[in-house]
Amino acid sequence: MVLFAAQCGDQKRLTDRETRQLSLFETTDEPALAETPSAAPVESAPDLPPSPEAPLLPAPPRVDGGAPREGDSPSGAGVTPENRPAQIEIVRTACLKCTACDLSSTRTQVVFGEGSIQSPLVIIGEGPGEQEDATGRPFVGRAGMLLDQALRENGILRQHVWITNVLKCRACLVEGRRKQNRPPRVEEVAACRRWLEQELKILSPLVILCLGGPAASWVIHPDFRITRERGQWFSTSWASIALATLHPAYVLRQVGEAYDAARATLVQDIGAARQKAIELKNLKNLKDPKKRAPALT
Ligand code: SF4
């Protein structure tokens, strides 16, 4: 059997083994919340972190390495595969009306996560840029197009994973009719924390892939340094395991050989996250008598 993963006119021929592995990311029993994006090219640049540390977000408000606070429920108590779509929809609906910080007055739209709520892999970026603010969807600018390409090169389509951000509204300066991206403030990140926490509790992913340093600081530990810790696996309260890689916007800022190397790193790390998600899902299925089936290798 051969499957063609086609998107945006780009086709990748998958082997039988890859096809069986890809099925682990497919949502046969629950629908994805959003359709595959058109990934239309855009004029403006996305949020472009100036370095691999991508210090767009200031020091995260928490200093406990992502450990749950009192009252947190990282286990997603009460969430079942059956009620997960309804639960995420409740959170999404509430988030779209959020006015908990000043960004509500400058945003066009809230940008909530989207993709497969059944996926073992969740990808987390920093925050929406101009195109995301305009469309209400995460990673649809140039960085999103690169992310889509890197996913496809690993046999994954966007709708097979959940893609979201630490911050749900665009952080920008308003100068007349112009808006310019700016780093979010500590209080904005703190106010927005509730939404990603709720997303992760409901989704309960096996693997989280952080795009850029700020997302890794949120998920893994506050002092995370991409240059030092990229590509390493970490335990986290929000998933079985987490990995951080370069933000696609950072990759886009590179030129020549540096671009090629950064892009290859992004693709490689997505591949590692995919493989880990498959391994962990196989393990989980083996422990579940209802889902026990031959493991994929
Ligand atoms: S950035 Fe987050 S906390 Fe602030 S208004 Fe938007 S959704 Fe609410």
Q: Burial level of 35, CB count in 10 A (0-12/13-18/19+)?
A: exposed
pLDDT band of 260, cuts 50, 70, 90: very high
All structural domains of the chain = 31-275 (3.40.470.10)
HSE value, Cβ hemisphere, 13 Å, CA-based, for 70: 0
pLDDT in tens, 196-224: 999 999 999 999 999 999 999 999 999 99
101: pLDDT strictly greater than 70: yes
- Does the CB atom of residue 189 touch ligand 1 within 6 A? no
**H or E segment to which residue 209 belongs:** strand 207-211
pLDDT higher for 119 or 14?
A: 119
The residue whose CA is least distant from atom 2 of ligand 1 is: 192
Q: Is the pLDDT of residue 249 over 90?
A: yes
Look at residue 88 in the predicted model and tell me its pLDDT.
97
101 lines ligand 1 (CB under 6 A): yes
Kindly list the strands in the beta sheet with 234-236, ordered across the sheet, starting from the edge strand earlier in the chain.
114-115, 162-165, 121-125, 207-211, 239-245, 234-236
Find out whether the beta carbon of 110 lies less than 6 Å from any atom of ligand 1: yes
Give percent above pLDDT 70 in the chain: 71
Q: Indicate if ligand 1 lies below 6 Å from the C-beta of 96.
A: no
